[in-house]
Structure 1
Amino acid sequence: MLDQEYAKQLATVDNLAINDIIAFDKVQKGKSITEDEAEALRKKSLIEGRKNSYIIAADVARHTEQQAEYMQMRGLDDMHYQSLIIEYLKTFERGRLADFDKVLANKLPQVLNDKQRKNKVRNLLQKMCRDGLVVSEGWSWSLPNS
């Protein structure tokens, strides 16, 4: 069922065909779209994200007054997440993966499932280790000795 109000807002975006509006409605509702629909919307720079995790693009969010929802779905950049981890370690000296999962739980993109969120946190910690920002000590992390 097409959300009529959302369709009206989408109609204010230039060069959208009815098929685009229907596909957008699916994306907005968190439903899957076909590869053809995704390709058509991507070519027009109207969606972002990966297969099965598409979100509307920033310009569309602006036209449909969904800027806050867009930011929640997109998430923040890795530097922001890293600064939260570093702040945690400055305060508590050590942290486990479960601690960082909790700290970042409501900050990571909403389109990620639990497994993807855990992988994101793990990947952040590994990158931070490679960059010398944190050190891994068994199952916990801490700041390097300065």
Structure 2
Amino acid sequence: MGDYKARFITEYRELDDRCNKLMVMLGKYSDGTLYFTPDCPIEMLNDQLEAMLKYKDILEDRALIEDIDLSPDDDKTDARALSDNGSAPAVVAALRNEIRSLKRKVEQMQEAVIAAQSAANAALSAVHDQCTNIVVAPPAAPQPRPWGVTC
């Protein structure tokens, strides 16, 4: 494994640990069981957690693209235990992968909808431009007949 992959995995695991600790703290705060009062507003901590989770999602997507296995070594053991006694960590890992896959599909669908809306708006604009440029000419006035010509 390359050095960057090891650093990547370390960064991901540290971020995951910090996210989990912050989630626990916020959960205790909302339950009223936190033994201290945070100095900063709780909304700021919620925003921090949201940003951390977004970054974690980005790292997970990169790991899929770069073929980096982020599962801890003990998850592999738990996956074997799943078939024996129904261990939950392997199921959670599989669900996380499925959620990431579904998120990517939703993003692709959103991009397709935006592209379709843009194309429809362009077509509508073109039709509108054509309609506003139509000039209806008044009927031509009858031409005077030369003298001596009869119909």
Same fold (TM over 0.5): no
Q: TM-score range by the shorter chain?
A: under 0.3
Using the size of structure 1 for normalisation, the TM-score is 0.25
Q: Which has the higher strand share?
A: 1
Pick the structure with greater CA Rg: 2
The structure with the largest helix share of the pair is 2
